[in-house]
Amino acid sequence: MEMETYGSMPKIELHAHLNGSARDSTLLELARGLGEEGVIVFSDVEHVIRKSDRSLTEVFKLFDLIHILTTDHKIITRITKEVIEDFASENVVYLELRTTPKKNISIGMTKRSYMEAVIEGLKAITSVDVDFMPHDVDARSGLNSLSTGRTCNGTSRKKIYVRLLLSIDRRETTEAAMETVKLALELRQFGVVGIDLSGNPIVGEWATFLPALKFARELGLCITLHCGEVPNPTEIRSMLDFLPQRIGHACCFEEAEWKKLKSFNIPVEICLTSNIRTNTISSLDVHHFADLYNAKHPLVLCTDDVGVFSTSLSGEYKVASSAFGLGKGEMFQLARNAVEFVFADDGVKRELREVFWPGLSGQY
């Protein structure tokens, strides 16, 4: 029953990694195919994909495997389409999907061609209306994306806004990070709104990424950082002092960092199942969600990697509601608050506020 409530409730997803959100069934099909070609041994890989409890270190090993399976233009297009369809089917009305542009010379893949494959995936969706172009570009090209998409010839049709974030992987050099930022700038007309810094938190130095992140900011791109997935007070403080528009996780903060975060009022993307599964937080009883929620700190519930952690955004809402004793009205309010933290333009924010029209809250 509760799951149905959160399934039908409109929701906003701001922290979802493309390759971490691929369906298990798709990954298994791809692994079987590569097994038949003799590229991998399927039986070695199958249990790795099916396993759901993994440490943070194991998660990054799994990503290396997923990337072997998916780093191909056609497959990237396919998983982008499937991931967006899956989020739309559980009434996510706005999705900020992030992915790390990849270069693989041996198959003729550049960071740009990788992103073009992602954009192809956005365009290939027919089961739901996908709004991904910035509205000022739509106006120039005469496209009307301002329709609500809720009715079409009298029949109601689902609509999802999708915007893209390009991720810098912590394994990358300053030059590689810079290339990603330049690409983000070129692809703004296709809905790229910002930059994310992610990847294995024990790899890489903040100073390596700072020039590219500063450059991104100068160009007007929004920035979100994976911050505090492991204890590293110096890095956490430098990240907060950079004043990103949002941060993800905030698991390993000490008193001084909490103070800074709260005084800067930086919204936090909270990924409950991910934090528990990776053992970054030992149990929901001690999760920082409760303290931040009680302090009215800006928060948004997110999934991180629905495929890797076998979750869904509705599932995250259900977990939060039962772990922290929040009613449906409070959960609706939490979903609605996220409108203010999206990186899309004000026109989209206005339309999203309409989706979360106050009258609707009576249903929850």
- Give the interface with ligand 6MZ as residue ranges (CB under 6 A): 17-20, 59, 63, 99-100, 167, 169, 198-199, 226, 229, 274, 278, 304-305
Q: Which residues pair with 304 in a beta bridge?
A: 16
Per annotation, catalytic residue among 172, 229, 235, 257: 229
Would you say 92 or 251 has its CB closer to ligand 6MZ?
251
Count of beta carbons in the 10 Å neighbourhood of residue 71:
17
- Residue-wise over 318-348: b if at least 16 C-beta within 10 A, else e? bbbbebbebebeebbebbbbbbebbbbeeeb
User: How would you class 309 by CB atoms within 10 Å of its CB: exposed for 0-12, middle for 13-18, buried for 19 or more?
Assistant: buried
301 vs 269: CA distance, rounded Å: 6
Cα distances from 129 to residues 157, 244, 267, 339, in angstroms, run: 7, 31, 28, 19
Query: Looking at beta carbons only, is 131 or 229 nearer to ligand 6MZ?
Result: 229
DSSP class of 310: T
Min dist CB 86 to ligand 6MZ, Å, is: 15
- φ/ψ region of 268 (left if φ > 0, alpha if ψ in -120 to 50, else beta) reads beta
How far, in Å, CA of 271 to CA of 304, rounded? Answer: 6
Q: Which is nearer to ligand 6MZ, 201 or 267 (CB)?
A: 201
Residue 26 neighbours by CB distance under 10 Å = 17
The nearest distance, CB 91 to ligand 6MZ, in angstroms, is 23
Name which of 100 and 314 has its Cβ closer to ligand 6MZ. 100
Nearer to ligand 6MZ, 149 or 191 (CB): 191
Who contacts 350 (Cβ-Cβ below 8 Å, separation ≥6)?
none
| 8 A C-beta contact, residue 261 and residue 250 | yes
Nearer to ligand 6MZ, 55 or 189 (CB): 55
Q: For residues 170 and 361, give the distance between their C-alpha atoms in angstroms, rounded to a whole number.
A: 41
What's the CA gap between 99 and 198, in Å, rounded? 10
Rg of the Cα atoms in the chain: 20
DSSP H or E segment with residue 25: helix 24-36
Q: How far is the CB of 186 from ligand 6MZ (least distance, A)?
A: 18
Q: Is 4 a catalytic residue?
A: no
Taking the complex as a whole, how short is the minimal distance between the CB of residue 24 and ligand 6MZ, in angstroms? 15
Please give the torsion angle defined by the CA atoms of residues 310, 12, 55 and 45, in that order, rounded to the nearest 10 degrees. Answer: 40
In the complex, what is the shortest distance from the CB of residue 63 to ligand 6MZ, in angstroms, rounded to a whole number? 4
Shortest distance, position 178 Cβ to ligand 6MZ, whole Å:
18
Closer of 274 and 321 to ligand 6MZ (Cβ): 274
CB of 166 to ligand 6MZ, least distance (A): 9
Catalytic residues: 229
